[in-house]
Amino acid sequence: MNKNQIAEQFEAISIQIFQNARTELYMNMRYLDLALSGLQFQITTELWGIGTDGSFLFAHPKILADRYEKNRILVNRVYLHCVYHCLFWHLWKNGKRQERLWRISCDIAVEALIDSMNCRSVRMGVSRFRRDWYDSLHRERKVLTAEGIYRTLQRRHLSPYELRQMEEAFCIDDHSLWPREEPPGKPPLPQMELQQNKWQDIREKTQTEMESFSKEASRGYGDLLDEIKVENRERYDYRAFLRKFAVMREEMQVDPDTFDYVFYSYGLSLYGNMPLIEPQEYREVHKIQEFVIVVDVSLSCSGQLVKTFLEQTYAVLTESESFFRKVNIRILQCDEQVRADQIITSQDELKEYMEHFTLTGNGGTDFRPAFAYVNRLVEEGAFQNLKGIIYFTDGYGIYPKKRPDYETAFVFMEEDFSDAQVPPWAIKLVIEKEELEEQSELAGSQFIWEEEQR
């Protein structure tokens, strides 16, 4: 038997190992049939390990054979591990994050999910090191997403030794095939877009199937459905959302769109110093003029989350193109009653409020008092054209039964996201701190807290 025949035989055996793993996983996890079939097999000696690029599952034949010989469950787990990386878009979401820490976070998220599953095909003992980390992370987060884990690890400032410990405990696949991030402003490669669209479609169909048979799907699947829901939730551009609360009004400024330079120049040349047309002094613009921000200051909403939300809101609102010179914005703090009401009429007032912001309250959560209070303000003439309420909360409270006459959005910061069921007449908005910060940077308006500068 020559070398080529030996190589072909090893390749055939390796592919058979992967096929057996896929079959065994499918028998226990039939709701993942699309995901488990989403990767083609590629056996290669150029990669010393097992990994994926989003289209193929690559493996070195010796590494794969050694794992299978030791315990076939090890092959099942690395197969599912790579599938989960694709399902949750870990390969394409590095962004500006520190690469090593991001990939460790992705591995922890995937392994935590697999360890939470009560399926024979992947069930193995969980080490004390892993268990301690899962418990520690769950004290901060209900669902262990890679993004949430990354922020937690970033705050803990792990040493090089601790990072190596994490890699040895959680990293079981090769990440060298993951696509590299494209430079800012450069569109993603067509192949990358196709991969992302494919796995997004698989993820959405997986959620639909699991929810259709929720009782059966919940048994043995651990946190899979929760994490899929978090990943599938609709993302919003917060700046675009705030523009929904804009009103059209005339503002004194030159309107270049209505100015004709031909008539202006002709008049000057004909009469010396008399233009035939001058620019209009007013133009119609869409800017934020009247709305209400309500902050949930109940015990369930931490001060840091509230501060983060207002910080990001400030960054958006203080863009020059978003503000009228005079505005009428009310910032309420409310738990089971309205604790504070701040009137904002200008950028300077908003800046001063942000610099001296303190929380007042910490009772239970009841949304009705805030709406009753705002309705009374409307009746008293405090607003001329109130566009709506933005209510930052964790979602746990008593909602009004009647729809108000203005738009309402309940906003969840991604760090404290829970799948709360808001009333059908309200908007549920989930925002991510990192995305808002990036948007603010692109707009050229960043806000840095004084205590962060010290």
Count of CB atoms within 10 A of residue 136's CB?
Answer: 11
Nearest one of 61, 146, 427, 372 to 154, comparing CA atoms: 146
CATH of the domain at 289: 3.40.50.410
Q: Which of 148-152, 298-302, 363-367 tops mean pLDDT?
A: 148-152
Whether 59 has a pLDDT exceeding 50, the answer reads yes
> Is residue 120 located within the same domain as residue 184?
yes
Select the more confidently predicted residue: 7 or 434.
7
| The last residue of a domain, from among 182, 214, 232 | 232
On average, the pLDDT of the chain sits at 79
Confidence of residue 449 (pLDDT cuts 50, 70, 90): very low
Select the more confidently predicted residue: 26 or 278.
26
> Is residue 314 located within the same domain as residue 184?
no
Nearest one of 248, 343, 335, 336 to 292, comparing CA atoms: 343
Whether 454 has a pLDDT exceeding 70, the answer reads no
In this predicted structure, which of 110-124, 235-249, 350-364 has the lowest mean pLDDT? 235-249
> Is residue 158 located within the same domain as residue 133?
yes
> Is residue 262 located within the same domain as residue 126?
no
> Is residue 205 located within the same domain as residue 275?
no
Cβ atoms of residues 43 and 10 within 8 Å? yes
Whether 10 has a pLDDT exceeding 90, the answer reads no
Average pLDDT over residues 220-246: 70
Range of the domain at 298: 238-453
In this predicted structure, which of 90-94, 255-259, 268-272, 357-361 has the lowest mean pLDDT? 255-259
Average pLDDT over residues 188-211: 85
In this predicted structure, which of 277-286, 293-302, 323-332 has the lowest mean pLDDT? 277-286
In this predicted structure, which of 49-63, 163-177, 272-286 has the lowest mean pLDDT? 272-286
> Is residue 298 located within the same domain as residue 159?
no
| The last residue of a domain, from among 190, 208, 232 | 232
Residues with Cβ < 8 Å from 201, sequence gap 6 or more? none
In this predicted structure, which of 117-126, 178-187, 204-213 has the lowest mean pLDDT? 178-187
> Is residue 207 located within the same domain as residue 249?
no
What is the reported pLDDT for 443?
46
Structural domains of the chain, count: 2
Residues with Cβ < 8 Å from 128, sequence gap 6 or more? none
> Is residue 242 located within the same domain as residue 228?
no
> Is residue 198 located within the same domain as residue 256?
no
> Is residue 276 located within the same domain as residue 330?
yes
> Is residue 246 located within the same domain as residue 192?
no
Select the more confidently predicted residue: 423 or 5.
423
Spell out a b/e string for 384-422, using b for 16 or more CB atoms within 10 Å of the CB, else e: eebbbbbbbbbbebebbeeebebbbbbbbbbbbbeeeeb
**Structure-token pair, residue 404:** 């108000």
Whether 436 has a pLDDT exceeding 90, the answer reads no
Confidence of residue 271 (pLDDT cuts 50, 70, 90): low
| The last residue of a domain, from among 180, 207, 232 | 232
> Is residue 172 located within the same domain as residue 267?
no
